[in-house]
Amino acid sequence: MTEKQNCILRIDNLIKIFDDAETEDTILKGLNLTVQRGEFMCILGPSGCGKTTFLRCIAGFEEFDGQIYVDGHKCSVPGTDRIMVFQDFNQLFPWKTVEQNIQYPLKLQGLRDKDELRRISEESLIKVKLQGYERYYPHQLSGGMKQRVAIAKALALKPALILMDEPFAALDAMTRSELQEEVLRISEQEGSTVIFVTHNIEEAITLGTRILVFQKGGQVVFDEKNPIKRPVTPLAENYGAIWEKLHRALHSEDGG
Amino acid sequence: MRKKEKKGFWIQIVFIALMLVVWETAARLRLFGPRSEIIFPPLEAIGRAFVLNFAKGYGGVSLWRYIGNSMKLLGEGLLIGIILALILSGACMVSVSFRRIYSLVIAVMDLLPGVAMLPVVIIIFGISPGVIVFLVVHSVLWPMSRNVLDGFLAVPRIYVEAGKNIGLRGISLLLGVYLPASVTYVISGLKVGWARAWRGLISAEMIFGIASCPGIGLYINQMRVNLNNAEMYATLLVIIIIGLIVQYGILVPIENRTVKKWGMSR
Amino acid sequence: MNKMSAGLLGLSLLMCIGGCGIRNQNTVSNEQKSLNIAYQYGLAYTPAIVAKEKGLIEEAYKEATGKEVSVTWIQMNSGADINTGIASGDLNVGFMGAAPAITGVVKDVGYKVFTNLSGQEHSLMTNEDDVRSLKDLVGSSHQIALVNIGSIQHIILAKALSESGLDPHALDSNIVAMKHPDGMAALETGNIACHLTSSPYTYMERSSGSFYELDEVSKAWSADDSFIVGVAATSLYEEDPELYKALCDGIRTAMEYMDTHMGEVAEMTCELDGNTKEDELKYLESGSYTAETNSLFELARFMSDAGFIDTMPDSYEDLVFDNVLGD
């Protein structure tokens, strides 16, 4: 019973076929999955395995066959209960300031109280350590800062699910590890449920409480809880072993 | 950067001064035939005519009134044209069939000079300032639509998805994402549309003069008929000045407050 | 880079000035004489068209001097354009309405009238039942289409008003400038209340039978009064009397030819005017084509009195060259 209540995402037989006039490409062939509340689920996989498409189906950006339930509700179109953080730095609206970017979705949800709006945007900016940047326009920010704002925007909405599609892949190594720490801290503090797509094994081990590996067609070849206690460092016990396992799962296609 | 801009400014000033010198020399040397001073008056005569246009005008009516009438018709036409362009381009994003049809309409209509349609327009609208407004709408609608539509089609998918993600649908998506995201296109559409409308207005007024609502084009025509060429050139000067005021007083500030401020220049 | 752009600028300016200078030399000294004549479209210009088609000016010149002259005919759209052409020296001769010709003389464009060309009937037609005289129009919002503000039709309207004891400018703000065929169409569709036009549109509108004619206008300026005149540059008259005479003779011959061969002329011009031969002949016969002016000075005096021109010519002789007869 508790198991069922805790289940925030259930996916039944998810099928996604891209068909242009000439080719028909099955990206996801019948995927089943459940995600528990508070889980930080990292999805690893080679390019073309369907991990991004999977995320986009959940977000409602793609049409698909099968069922997706979020908090027990069937989803097929985008909604504010599932907020996507993209890899592209340009996901903020350049015509709005940092503050407006965060407040705009809240206003759309009917929140009109100016003080409340300011309080929420300030609070979420503090969480991503960007207080003082309220009035900046996105083009005045660095890539890392833009991603922080995107995360703050997601947090302000308090969605059931935060979907992250390789959000740090285009950042330099230092900024990336900085942001990884922030995301880790925030997700623990907020108890958010995150699905995090990456192609980086270290990132998956560092962030995930649960790690999945996809192979072609959205086939789940690995699905285990991360045994390493946070904060994860390369020196932690089992780090080498789990890395080895994931690496093998990732390259299983080549071997077979 | 500053220094370069300043230098560019001075080059322009020098160029204008040089052109004035050329004009004055040509006028003083009476290069344009036996009655050169009539068709190519010296600057001083044009300057005097400039003042007289406003002080005395023609038939007791100051040029101010002509300008007022023209600007009123222009304003109405521009407003209607811009709003129509936004609505129709927006409709194109909803229906692909409509987009196909409208693209064709734009391509065809944009080729037609407004004044060539005058007889048809008169039959539809009757003899009224509405005809001039229609021609202004015609000159602004198609270039504006083309630009807005191009802009809408070029909106990055990520903005659209981010917009859908936060709950924007249909019209709110159009106004909340498509329109601001294509602001560079909208502004360049405005620039082209405004210039065409301004020219279209004056040529329409020159051909189709309504004496009860006299505009700048009619004034130029009257000056031409009466061989008051200095007054005519002075009126052309007024046209240029109004054009520059709109360009630097309205369009450039709009650009600074949007595209430049948002870091969206193409 | 900068030097280059400065050089380019200087070069283009030089070409500009140089071009202007060169352009004006070809009219003065030339092996073969040339004459540039501007005319306009329509029935009222028929003598000019006859002279053009039959080469009458060339013929007259050859007969008198034994030399050739090359005549270039240019069709233009308005008296204002022709005025500019003559002032710049590009044109030697032009045919235009009496009103712009008077304006041109008064403004010292450098020409005078060398012949009358034609007189035509003018009419003011209305499709409104409550308009039966000019008085009914004054103060109303009824619009009157005519070809241009400041045109001879506009002045005829002012003259008709003045002769009815009204302010000559009382209907100025009722005017809408429209080409003759557009004005006729607008009258027919009811888009406009009145149309002031000239032959042949006058006949077309009369024959339709559905309009009422306000005859103050046709009385104010009849087919006997000068409507279209020919003007010639003073330089032509002074510097080349032989060519000037050939010009006058050529036009007079054209008028004589029209008197004797009207049917043939109608055949020649009916296609140009878009009428059937029969109609064309009817229209042509209703006009008056003489070299003698009629009421030209009276027109000038009226234009001055009503403020259409700033200065008044002193005498009839100020308007015309000394070979022209009439008043």
**What residues of A are in contact with residue B156 (Cβ under 8 Å)?**
90
Given this model, what pLDDT does residue C300 score?
95
What parts of chain A have a pLDDT lower than 50?
1, 255-256
CA distance linking residue C193 with residue B65, whole number of Å: 26
Question: What does the pLDDT look like over A164-221, one tens digit per residue?
Answer: 999 998 889 899 988 999 899 988 888 889 999 998 899 999 999 999 999 888 888 8
CA distance linking residue C228 with residue A3, whole number of Å: 103
Question: Which residues numbered 153-192 in A keep a CB inside 8 Å of some CB on B?
Answer: 157
Question: Which among A199, A196, A201, A207 is positioned nearest to A230, based on CA atoms?
Answer: A207
- Cβ distance B180 to A88 less than 8 Å, yes or no, reads no
Write out the H or E segment, with its range, that includes residue C232: strand C228-233
Question: What does the pLDDT look like over B138-180, one tens digit per residue?
Answer: 999 999 999 999 999 999 999 999 999 998 988 899 999 999 9
Report yes or no: A29 and A49 within 8 Å, Cβ to Cβ: no
Q: Which residues contact B15 (CB under 8 A, 6 or more apart)?
A: C9
**What residues of A are in contact with residue B166 (Cβ under 8 Å)?**
80, 83, 104-105, 108, 157
Q: How many other C-beta atoms are found inside a 10 Å radius of the C-beta of residue B150?
A: 14
- Cβ distance A105 to B158 less than 8 Å, yes or no, reads no
C189, closest residue in chain B (CA to CA): B123
Three-class SS state of C110 = coil
Given this model, what pLDDT does residue C162 score?
94
CA distance linking residue C299 with residue C52, whole number of Å: 29
CA distance linking residue B65 with residue B58, whole number of Å: 11
What pTM, to 2 d.p., does this model score? 0.79
Packing angle, helices B129-153 and B63-94, rounded to 10: 40
Best of C15, C173, C179, C196 to disrupt the B interface (most B CBs within 10 Å) is: C173
Alpha helix locations (H) across chain C? 2-23, 46-54, 56-65, 79-87, 98-106, 134-137, 152-163, 180-189, 201-208, 215-220, 234-239, 241-260, 262-273, 277-286, 296-305, 316-319
**What residues of A are in contact with residue B258 (Cβ under 8 Å)?**
95
If phi over 0 gives left and psi between -120 and 50 gives alpha, with beta otherwise, what is residue A74? Answer: beta
B29, closest residue in chain C (CA to CA): C21
- Cβ distance B183 to A95 less than 8 Å, yes or no, reads yes
Q: How many other C-beta atoms are found inside a 10 Å radius of the C-beta of residue A63?
A: 10
- Cβ distance A95 to B162 less than 8 Å, yes or no, reads no
Write out the H or E segment, with its range, that includes residue B190: helix B183-207
- Cβ distance B158 to A88 less than 8 Å, yes or no, reads yes
Report yes or no: A54 and A31 within 8 Å, Cβ to Cβ: yes
Q: How far is residue A60 from each of residues A19, A57, B164, B229, measured CA to CA in Å?
A: 18, 5, 9, 68
Rounding to the nearest 10 degrees, give the CA dihedral for residues A241, A247, A253, A256.
-40
A68 burial (CB, 10 Å; 0-12 / 13-18 / 19+) is buried
CA distance linking residue C321 with residue A192, whole number of Å: 102
**What residues of B are in contact with residue A104 (Cβ under 8 Å)?**
166, 176
Q: Which residue has the tokens 């008259």?
A: C237
- Cβ distance B209 to C177 less than 8 Å, yes or no, reads yes
- Cβ distance B262 to A95 less than 8 Å, yes or no, reads yes
CA distance linking residue C135 with residue A12, whole number of Å: 89
Three-class SS state of C167 = coil
Domain with CATH 3.40.50.300 in chain A: 2-81+159-255
Best of B160, B161, B164, B165 to disrupt the A interface (most A CBs within 10 Å) is: B165
Angle made by CA atoms B42, B44, B46, in degrees to the nearest 5 = 75
**What residues of B are in contact with residue C185 (Cβ under 8 Å)?**
119, 122-123
Report yes or no: A40 and A189 within 8 Å, Cβ to Cβ: no
Question: Which among C39, C34, C35 is positioned nearest to C230, based on CA atoms?
Answer: C39
Given CATH 3.40.1390.10, say whether it is the number of domain B41-262: no
Report yes or no: C69 and C243 within 8 Å, Cβ to Cβ: yes
CA distance linking residue A206 with residue A230, whole number of Å: 8
The type of residue at C75 is Q
Q: Which residue has the tokens 């005149």?
A: C229
Three-class SS state of C215 = helix
Report yes or no: B140 and B193 within 8 Å, Cβ to Cβ: yes
Residue by residue, what is the 3-state secondary structure of chain A? Answer: CHHHHHEEEEEEEEEEEEECCCCEEEEEEEEEEEEECCCEEEEECCCCCCHHHHHHHHHCCCCCEEEEEECCEECCCCCCCEEEECCCHHHCCCCCCHHHHHHHHHHHCCCCCHHHHHHHHHHHHHHCCCCCCCCCCHHHCCHHHHHHHHHHHHHHCCCCEEEEECCCCCCCHHHHHHHHHHHHHHHHHHCCCEEEECCCHHHHHHHCCEEEEEECCCEEEEEEECCCCCCCCCCCCCHHHHHHHHHHHHCHHHHC
Given this model, what pLDDT does residue C234 score?
93
Domain ranges of chain B: 1-35, 41-262
CA distance linking residue A190 with residue A46, whole number of Å: 30
Given this model, what pLDDT does residue B38 score?
82
Q: Which residues contact C278 (CB under 8 A, 6 or more apart)?
A: none
Structure tokens belonging to residue A205: 């081990």
Given this model, what pLDDT does residue C22 score?
43
- Cβ distance B36 to C78 less than 8 Å, yes or no, reads no
Structure tokens belonging to residue C327: 């008043």
Say if B16 is an interface residue toward chain C (CB within 8 Å).
no
Q: How far is residue B176 from each of residues A103, A122, B66, B158, measured CA to CA in Å?
A: 13, 23, 40, 14
Domains in chain C, CATH or no CATH each = 32-120+225-319 (3.40.190.10), 122-220 (3.40.190.10)
Question: Which among C84, C136, A166 is positioned nearest to B228, based on CA atoms?
Answer: C84
How many CA atoms, within 13 angstroms, populate the side-chain half-sphere of residue A190? 25
Q: Which residues contact C309 (CB under 8 A, 6 or more apart)?
A: B226, C102, C103, C106, C300, C303
Given this model, what pLDDT does residue C24 score?
44
Three-class SS state of C112 = strand
Residue-level pLDDT, tens digit, chain C, 327 residues: 455 665 665 556 555 554 444 444 444 444 678 999 999 988 899 999 999 999 999 999 999 999 999 999 999 988 888 998 998 888 999 999 999 999 999 988 999 999 999 999 999 999 999 999 999 999 998 999 998 888 889 999 999 999 999 999 999 889 988 888 888 988 998 888 999 999 889 998 998 888 999 999 999 999 999 999 999 999 999 999 999 999 999 999 999 999 999 999 999 888 887 888 988 998 898 899 999 999 999 999 999 999 888 888 989 999 999 999 988
How far A104 CA sits from the closest chain B CA (Å)? Answer: 9
Given this model, what pLDDT does residue C25 score?
42
The type of residue at C325 is L
What parts of chain B have a pLDDT lower than 50?
none
**What residues of B are in contact with residue C90 (Cβ under 8 Å)?**
33
Say if A227 is an interface residue toward chain B (CB within 8 Å).
no
Choose the closest CB to C172 out of B119, B211, B224.
Answer: B211
- Cβ distance A86 to B162 less than 8 Å, yes or no, reads yes
Three-class SS state of C94 = strand
CA distance linking residue C134 with residue C219, whole number of Å: 13
B112 burial (CB, 10 Å; 0-12 / 13-18 / 19+) is exposed
The type of residue at A117 is L
Candidates 3.40.50.300, 1.10.10.10, 3.40.50.10330, 3.40.630.30; CATH matching A2-81+159-255: 3.40.50.300
Q: How many other C-beta atoms are found inside a 10 Å radius of the C-beta of residue B41?
A: 22
Q: Which residues contact C303 (CB under 8 A, 6 or more apart)?
A: C99, C102, C103, C155, C309
CA distance linking residue A134 with residue A62, whole number of Å: 33
**What residues of B are in contact with residue C24 (Cβ under 8 Å)?**
31-33
The one-character DSSP state at B115 is G
